[in-house]
Structures are given as structure tokens and as C-alpha cells.
Amino acid sequence: MFSFRMLKFSSHLHNEKLKYILIVSLLLSPSFIGSDNSPELTMPGQPESSKLFILDASGSMNEYLGIYQKVHLAKKYVRHYVDKLPEETEVGFIAYGNRLPGCQSSRLYQPLEKGNRPGFQNKLFGLTPSGATPLAESIRIAGDYIIRRKSPTDLILVTDGIESCYGNPEKELQVLQQKGVNFKMHILGLGLKPDEKRIMQSLAKTGNGKYYNVGEDSDFFLAMEDLLKQEPQTKRTEIEPEKRYPKIRISDIEKRQTDSEENFYRVKFVFENSDSDNQCVILNLKRRSSTFSKTQNWNPQRTTEPERVLRTEQTCFQTRKGEGEFQISAPAHLPLNLELELWDTKGIPSSVDKSGERNLTE
């Protein structure tokens, strides 16, 4: 009896050991341990940030900033920014003013959508400035909209003024943060006075975003380019670069010396811009630079180092492609270069391309 009980006890221990070994082997097996290839433990990528603009369409946007109306600059560079975003990025906009009187003019004109760039552009260019500046109301409407979506959103405010309807924009941002809304707010201030600029800088800081002071066309371009640089690189669509053909080029320069003091030049060029049938070609006569310049080229379609330009001339065409020439005279003793720019003058004038500099006097 004793030996039988011992045998049963030994068998029981053996079975327990087998169970223990089986459990340990399961726990240590590759299928159970989380690895880089395990879908259950793989961390999700950073969510896509939608872009919701808050656009000033109040009456003061009809005023000029430099040589352009503020509203034209806003439309031009908002489109520039949106066109450079990947197609899968959701974009939309709220606007205030736009011919609606009073302090309740904020409307969601374009809901956040992927790929609907033509619809976005049509509604954007349909804005007509008139009315007040209800910033707080616009932020509240934006917050109510994005809180239902539960996805990260960049709010981008483009305005030429501060709150004019007795609201508190900063408090509205704080309310959204307390509700746990995942957002940032960047602000582009158009021609703001120093005290207005300080208010907007504080508002952007509260919104965990950046403030950009826009005093002229080039400031707007640089601000939008900086915002684009903040986009994660994984969101950019990598496309094999194609061979680029310039839209404006100098085909020939003929030089004739009229006397010891002056030379005469015929500068021939060809151009082609399939996007427009209204173009102007601008000739920039420039001092030759003796040193390498570190000045930032704020617009790659514009002539470099504009401070070297001594004289400009232009000629315009109503055709998509063609050729022409400039006839100019210049002092024979000055080291000079020239560079041509092609401008699209259909609608808001915008630079399209440049020829690159050519040596004129040697």
C-alpha cells in the first residue's frame, strides 16, 4: 500500500512538472512574446493633422498691404499652402465677415475633406470682405466642430486685426484645452500694429502654435513655407524628379559698341507658360556680385539679390508661348549681369520662373 501511494504521489508530481514546463514554454514562445512584428504591440503612427483655416473676411481686408489688397494676398498664399499639402490631408476653412453684418458672421464654409481642392479653392476665392472681427466666436465654432471629430487639427488664423466684438479669444482656447481637444493654433498677422502684434503673439502661445508677422508679400510666402516645413516628412509624397525645362530663357545676346562709354545690347528670349495666356517678361539689369551672398532667396521664381538691380524693363504678351527681345544700352565700364523673370498677369500677378543670370559686359 505504501509503495502504491508513493507511486501515485510521484506520478502527481510528474504531472505538475509537465504542466509547469508547458506553461513556461508557452510564455517564452515567440508567438506569445511581443516583438517588433507583433501587431498587438506595434505602436500606431502619429495621427494625421487636419488643417482648418480661420480666415478674416472683414471689411479691413480690402485695404492694401504694399501693392496688394490683403484679401488677395490671403487667398493667394492659402492656396499656395494647400496645394503643397499631400492629397490625403484634410483641409477646410471657417471665415468671418464675408458680407454678413454684426458679430455673428462666423461660418464653416468648407468642411474638412481629403482631396477636394477645387471645391476649397472655389469657396476661398468667393470670399468678399465686409463686416467685423469676431475672433472668439470663430474659435468657439472651430472647437465645436473639431471636438466631434476627435482627430488632431491645426487651426491657422489669417487676420489683419484683433477681436472687435467684445469676445475673449484666449479664454475660448483655454476652454478647448480643458476639454482635451487635440489642436494647435498658428496665427498670421497682416500689417498689425505693435500692441495688436503682442496680443496675437500671446494668443498663438496659448494655442501652442507660432505667430508670423506679415508686413509684405515676401513675409507671407516665408510664413507659409515655414508652416510646410513643420509637416512630418513621412507625409510628403516622394516623386521621382522630372527634367525641368525653364519657362523663360535667354536665347541670345547681341552686343554692339556705340562709343567708348556705352554699349548697345539686343537681348532675345523665349517663353512658354501653359497655365496662362497673359504674361509679362521683366528684364533686371544688375551689378555683378564680387562675393557670395548669404541673403535668403525668399521666392525661387524671383530674381536673386534684388538690391543689385539697377534698372528694370518689361514687355507683355497675350499668348501662352512666344519670343521677344529687349534693346538696352548700358555703360561700357560697369561689370553687369542681367536676369529675366516671367510673370503670370491673369488675375493676381504672380512670378512664374526666372532665366538665371547671364554675364552682359564680357
pLDDT at residue 5 above 80?
A: no
| Pairing label, strands 50-57, 153-159 | parallel
What pLDDT is attached to residue 44?
A: 42
- Return mean pLDDT, the chain: 82
Residue range 50-231 in CATH 3.40.50.410:
yes
Query: Cα separation of 304 and 357, whole Å?
Result: 9
If pLDDT is split at 50, 70 and 90, which confidence band does 11 have? Answer: very low
Q: What are phi and psi of 331, to 5 degrees?
A: -60, 135
pLDDT at residue 243 above 80?
A: no
What pLDDT is attached to residue 34?
A: 39
If pLDDT is split at 50, 70 and 90, which confidence band does 306 have? Answer: confident
Q: Is the dihedral of CA 128, 212, 352, 265 positive or negative?
A: positive
Q: Which of 156, 139, 125 is nearest to 57 (CA)?
A: 125
Query: Cα separation of 318 and 197, whole Å?
Result: 42
What pLDDT is attached to residue 167?
A: 92
Amino acid, single-letter form, for residue 249: R
Say if 50-231 and 248-359 have the same CATH topology: no
* Whether pTM exceeds 0.85: no
pLDDT at residue 316 above 50?
A: yes
In the numeric block, which cell numbers belong to residue 81?
499652402
Domain ranges of the chain: 50-231, 248-359
If pLDDT is split at 50, 70 and 90, which confidence band does 244 have? Answer: low
What pLDDT is attached to residue 233?
A: 54
Query: Cα separation of 230 and 104, whole Å?
Result: 33
Q: Mean pLDDT throughout 108-122?
A: 91
Domain 248-359 fold is: Immunoglobulin-like (2.60.40)
Lowest mean pLDDT, pick from 84-98, 109-123, 289-303: 289-303
If pLDDT is split at 50, 70 and 90, which confidence band does 18 have? Answer: very low
Q: Mean pLDDT throughout 308-320?
A: 89
3-class secondary structure per residue, the chain: CHHHHHHHHHHHHHHHHHHHHHHHHHHHCCCCCCCCCCCCCCCCCCCCCEEEEEEEECHHHHCEECCEEHHHHHHHHHHHHHHHCCCCCEEEEEEEECCCCCCCCCEEEEEEEECCHHHHHHHHHCCCCCCCCCHHHHHHHHHHHHHHHCCCEEEEEEECCCCCCCCCHHHHHHHHHHCCCCEEEEEEEECCCHHHHHHHHHHHHHCCCCEEEECCHHHHHHHHHHHHHCCCHHHCCCCCCCCCCCCEEEEEEEEEECCCCEEEEEEEEEEECCCCCCEEEEEEEEECCCCCCCCCCCCCCCCCCHHHEEEEEEEEECCCEEEEEEEEEEECCCCEEEEEEEEECCCCCEEEEECCCEECCC
pLDDT at residue 13 above 70?
A: no
